[in-house]
Copies of this chain bind each other. A is one copy, B any other.
Amino acid sequence: MSIPFDKFKEHCAIFGVYNIKEASNYVYLGLHALQHRGQEGCGIVTRDKGVFYKKRSRGLVLEAFDKTDIESLKGEIGIGHNRYSTSGDSSIVNLQPLTASFDLGDIAIAHNGNIVNAFEIRQRLINDGAIFSSSSDTEVIIHLIARQKGSFDQRLVLALEQLKGAFSLVILFNETLYAIKDPWGFRPLAMGELNDSVCFASETCAFDLIGAKFIRELDSGEIVKVDKYGVNSFKPFKKENSYRCVFEYIYFARPDSYLWDNHVYEIRKKIGQQLALKSKVDADIVIAVPDSGMPAAIGYAQASGLPFEIGIIRNHYVGRTFIEPTDSIRHFGVKLKLNPSSDVLNNKRVVVVDDSIVRGTTSRRIVKMIRNAGAKEVHLRIASPPVTHPCFYGIDTPTKAELIASSHTIEEITKYATADSVEYISVEDLESIVGKNNYCYACFTGNYPISFE
């Protein structure tokens, strides 16, 4: 049984590197730095002397690969992928990178995102005689490429321009490495360099670990091609407005990543500061729901002048599964991970800052936990607007009906959570911090940039 932590889930992380000795070492380290974006399984494909080397496995990067694995992945070029299983199905067949042989040679592909019209294209391909061995969107992309005419570059463009939705990709085609971002730019993808090598990663924290220098974020709709002739960029797709996922700032990205011209940590602190200004409350201390609520809580504390304290301790020895104890002692999910510090909380009026509320169940447990530890008042402050709509662009969210804010007022949520008050940052305040244009706020507003009927 997995720990029932009520958060949105990122689908994936991708990483690629070109022209470096023992490339598999760098992919391995890069994927480790991106582990927060997907923990169900991972994979690495490298290329040496015309042959793909491939290893995919369930579990965390540091556990999935041993020294022998890394050494057996030969070559100076490689890509990798961390997966979060959306459908509870983390069978090896659905792990990435996906590989296939087709008329121009071999292809390996790692994908972060979600193709809105994948099912429709899949049906079209199937009607045209294609067979599918996995249920992943990514297999659709390979089929589309294989069925075009012309050079690989031409086919790539012809294939990708049929796709609607979110796709950040790294692709190995024989000896060439491609990094690609969809025209709407939903998911991040950054380029770095390390001596004479080029690398790509979902977030810049991967560059920090391997000692690479961050160069720039890919543009929406950009294809970067790296081969022996050098690094070339082209933007062959019809120009679209950018819709970068604002939830990357709220929750997914690591706070030490630099994303779309902002430091993630800085954005989160500003949200906390704004929350403090707009939803002031008489209180004694500010605490965070660790770890994601920390930067906003620090921002809140600084703006409000209230002391920041560590009122909830996180147990880091929680694996990805646990045994639900028997009837007499159920409902340990949250407690296995979080423990309130009664020393800090007893007899206090507490502001507790969390990044978001999804179903509300975890918030309710946390508020009760704080109150049981002796708090006199519990004021919940949320570093995102109310989440009212599911995401279709690469995030694993519950249905609309399960999102508490889609059907409950803030008063009702306050009551359900048993809090003394609940306040969210508004969409407008978030826009003023992050920027109004170029971002996707659909999960807060329902204004979906790509339709999907």
Shortest Cβ distance from A21 into chain B, in angstroms? 6
Proximity string of chain A (143-171) to chain B, C-beta cutoff 8 Å, 1 when within and 0 when not = 10011100000000000000000000000
Q: List A residues at the B interface (Cβ < 8 Å).
A: 21-22, 25-26, 28-29, 32-33, 35-36, 39, 60-63, 65-67, 70, 92, 98-103, 107, 126-127, 129-133, 142-143, 146-148, 205, 208-211, 254-256, 258, 263-266, 291, 294-295, 298, 301-302, 307-310, 313, 315-319, 321-323, 325-326, 328-329, 332, 335-336, 339-344
**From DSSP, what is the main secondary structure of chain A's interface residues?**
mixed
Known: A256-B342, A319-B60. A329 touches B100 (CB 8 A): no
Within the assembled complex, what's the spacing in Å between the Cα atoms of A146 and B131?
A: 7
Which of chain B's residues have a CB closer than 8 A to the CB of A255? Answer: 310, 313, 341
B256 close to A321 (CB less than 8 A): no
A33, B342: Cα distance in complex, Å: 16
Q: How far is the CB of A169 from chain B (nearest CB, A)?
A: 16
Number of copies: 4
For the complex, give the distance between the alpha carbons of A341 and B317 in Å: 24
Measured between alpha carbons, how far is A243 from B107 in the docked complex, in Å? 40
By a CB distance below 8 angstroms, the chain B residues around A321 are 62
22 contacts between A and B (CB under 8 A): A32-B315, A33-B339, A62-B317, A62-B319, A62-B322, A62-B336, A70-B323, A98-B133, A100-B131, A100-B132, A101-B132, A103-B126, A107-B131, A126-B146, A130-B130, A205-B313, A255-B341, A256-B341, A256-B342, A263-B344, A264-B343, A308-B308
Pairwise interchain contact A133-B317, C-beta atoms closer than 8 A: no
Flag if B308 contacts A298 (CB, 8 Å): yes
**Across the interface, do A67 and B323 meet the contact criterion of CB distance under 8 Å?**
yes
Evaluate contact between B101 and A131: CB separation under 8 angstroms: yes
